[in-house]
Amino acid sequence: MKLSIYEIISRNAMITNLRAHLKNIHTSWQLEFENSANYSKRLNYIDYAKGLAILLVVSGHVIYHCIFNRDAIASSYNLELFYVLQLIEMPLFMFLSGLVVRTRYQNGKNTLIDCYRKFRVLLVPFIFVGLTFTLFQGYSLDNFFLHSMKRGYWYLQALFDLYLIHYFFQGIVNLLPRKFQMMSDIVLFFILSFLSVIFKEWVGDVNVLVILGMDKVVMYFPIFYSAVLINKYEL
């Protein structure tokens, strides 16, 4: 059966479109594979950095709790070393946590799912393990909630609070046109960081804010959120 010129052209166009479509799929798979490989390398890099941060935290606690009070001669040196480690260890943890935050656009349902996961992973251990440890040591519940360090478990609560703040403001920024989002994020970062510095001392005097862990949030927000923006815009 002979085909008309129109049918031949149509079939050739269909074949060309099919080839282009398959090529696009192949390209997207290739890019996805490359991105997943780069992402894996990045996670490994972050894991190594977290391992270093853990060693610094352990070293700081050993110096302060095990060595500092035992050797009066070297106590001043050990205390200075402890403060130096403090300037590195927890800021490094907060920065690394910000680097792995989900920054791409997602709808409200997925955001709520992420919030629930953070609640389950961070806040549930903070409450149950923290309270159990506090009561085991013979302290009251007030001593746990009103204490800035939360008997050593403050990091879990502060990180959860920072995630909530991130999801809230990113939800607002994502409503803007894409060309305005980066500038909006940068302006928002500087405004919130400025407010964190201004109200840092005041927050620690308000019991309700201490219970919510906001005294630690204002301390580490600039570090955490700067890492979020580096991750989001690949700076």
Residue 65 covered by a domain: no
Asked if residue 117 lies in contact with residue 163, where contact means CB atoms within 8 angstroms, the answer is no
Residue 90's nearest CA partner among 234, 230, 186, 217 is 217
**pLDDT tens by residue, 140-154:** 888 888 888 888 889
Residue 79 covered by a domain: no
Residue 34 covered by a domain: no
Residue 107 CA neighbour count, 13 Å, CB half = 1
Residue 56 covered by a domain: no
Give me the percent of the chain exceeding a pLDDT of 70.
73
Helix axes 75-99, 214-233, angle to 10 degrees: 50
Residue 144 covered by a domain: yes
**pLDDT tens by residue, 104-143:** 666 777 888 888 999 999 999 999 999 998 888 888 888 8
Copy the structure tokens of residue 41: 């390398």
Residue 192 covered by a domain: yes
Residue 222 covered by a domain: yes
Counted domains in the chain: 1
**pLDDT tens by residue, 189-203:** 999 999 888 888 788
Residue located via tokens 């490994």: 44
* Angle in degrees, CA 216, 217, 219, rounded to 5: 65
Question: Domain containing 213: what range?
Answer: 101-235
Residue 57 covered by a domain: no
